[in-house]
Amino acid sequence: MQRLVASSTGARAALCPRYTTSPFFFTRSLRTAAETVPQSPIRVFRAVDDVRKWRKPQMINYRSVGLVPTMGALHEGHLALIRAAARENHHVVVSIYVNPAQFGVKEDLSSYPVTWETDIAALAKLDRELADDGGNLGRISAVFAPTTPEIYPSGFPGQAIDSKGSFVTITPVAEVLEGASRPTFFRGVATVCMKLFNIVQPEKVYFGQKDVQQTVVIRRMVKDLMVPTEVVICPTEREADGLAMASRNVYLGTRRREVAIVLNTALRAAENAYRAGRTDRASVLGAAQDVCDMMLRAQRDMKPSERVLFEIDYISLADPDSLQEVDTIDVAKGAVLSGAVRMLPVEEPQNGEDLGHSGGPAVRLIDNIILPPKST
């Protein structure tokens, strides 16, 4: 294999006077038409084969690759993952793909925010920042933004629970919490992540703590299916008032944005109960429930034209490894506090009121706090 490459590069050198030292110089000069992010050297790959062709020499040259999977609509949470990946890898690949398989048939796939132009501008800006910061090993080398036929070469299997296709299912951790509300969600996530890992073959993959169950599912998949990559989890990036940053926050609009903090406030109350020494479920979750009840009462007392109603989908206190609910926190292990809230559409919208992206449908938000182990 090595000899073949050497002889073919020799022939190319004879044909191309600009090609003198590196075989990769030749490859790149042939690819002048390849898509890049404007005002940056970041390549844009649409096809699996193009990623593989780019990846192979990195592997031969022991250049490490960190992968940051995203669905686009990038915000500071995503950028923090990319910064972490650039500190630890020679190359960062960011994937941007809104994976239909992780949306339920009745979910917001068609209105999910797609902001390609601002996303790539944010990546170009971040890449310049990474270049100026000597503490990084690498920069953003590529964006992988495939189409659905590219990612599902045998045809997209559909979003229904009983869809037939090549899926990765990780049970039971994917069946509880988010999986209970969204039964096909983690099947879609695990399947697309496995595909991305196989395409990019990253040494490390970067995920946000914000989606805590996703981190548990991906870690379990990597462990049980012997995927040769390291899963790195980065802290949740928050707005100044504590709201976890999320692409879906753009759906909220001004009125609901203020009240959306309810979930984080409730989880923090539960965290405080744990820090104060409570370990029983009733006390810890009761503190969260009190906050939700109080905030909902306050909203109900307001005029419909001003208030915001919400429904708590769940608030959970679970074992950090299995995500099964616990009655008492084992302080040697700690626990995961997590929850989901549905911010309902605003009543009596006012003239000119900002109702959020897509006109203000109900918005489901999630958040979590890790309760750390305590030394006894």
| Contact (Cβ atoms closer than 8 angstroms) between residue 164 and residue 144 | no
- Near ligand AMP by CB under 6 A: residue from 95, 191, 247, 316: 247
Least distance from C-beta 155 to ligand AMP, angstroms?
Answer: 23
Residues 54-83 that bind ligand AMP (CB under 6 A): 70-71, 77-78, 80-81
The type of residue at 185 is F
Write down the least CB distance from residue 181 to ligand AMP, Å.
16
Pairing mode, strands 363-371 and 335-343: antiparallel
Q: Which is closer to ligand AMP, CB of 6 or CB of 114?
A: 114
Residue 367, interface with ligand AMP (CB under 6 A)? Answer: no
Residue number of the CB atom closest to ligand AMP: 208
Residue (66 or 326) nearer to ligand AMP, CB = 66
Residue 92 pairs in a beta bridge with 66, 140
Q: Check residue 208 for interaction with ligand AMP (CB under 6 A).
A: yes
Which region, left, alpha or beta, applies to residue 168 given φ > 0 means left and ψ of -120 to 50 means alpha? beta
Considering the complex, state which of residue 40 and residue 236 has its C-beta at the smaller distance from ligand AMP: 236
- Give yes or no for residue 136 binding ligand AMP (CB under 6 A): no
Q: Is 244 in the site for ligand AMP (CB under 6 A)?
A: yes
| Tokens of residue 53, six digits | 């062709």
CA distance 368 to 376: 24
Alpha helices in 276-367 (DSSP H): 281-300
Stretch that binds ligand AMP, among 144-152, 158-166, 237-245, 307-315 (CB under 6 A): 237-245
What lies within 8 Å, CB to CB, of 314 at 6+ separation is 177, 180, 181, 339, 340
Which of 78, 90, 91, 357 is labelled catalytic? 78
The answer to the question of residue 357 lying near ligand AMP (CB under 6 A) is no
Going by C-beta distance under 8 Å and a sequence separation of 6 or more, which residues neighbour residue 200? 51, 55, 65, 67, 93, 95, 144
Pairing of strands 65-70, 204-208: parallel
151 is a contact residue toward ligand AMP (CB under 6 A):
no
Tokens at 164, concatenated: 């037939």
Q: Does 119 bind ligand AMP (CB under 6 A)?
A: no
Question: What are the Cα distances from residue 197, in Å, to 48, 65, 77, 82, 220?
Answer: 12, 11, 21, 16, 14
Phi, psi for 366 (deg, rounded to 5): -125, 160
**Site for ligand AMP contains 211 (CB under 6 A):** yes
232, 205 Cβ separation under 8 angstroms: yes
Q: Which is nearer to ligand AMP, 237 or 271 (CB)?
A: 237
Residue 95 interacts with ligand AMP (CB under 6 A): yes or no:
no
Q: Is 90 a catalytic residue?
A: no
Partnered with residue 317 across adjacent β-strands are: 337
CB of 352 to ligand AMP, least distance (A): 30
3-state secondary structure of 366: strand
- Interface pick for ligand AMP out of 13, 121, 131, 245 (rule CB under 6 A): 245
Interface segment toward ligand AMP; rule CB under 6 A; list 122-130, 151-159, 180-188, 233-241: 233-241
DSSP 345: P
Say whether residue 229 binds ligand AMP (CB under 6 A).
no
Residues serving a catalytic function are: 78
Name the residues that contact ligand AMP, by CB under 6 A. 70-71, 77-78, 80-81, 207-208, 210-211, 234, 236-237, 244-247
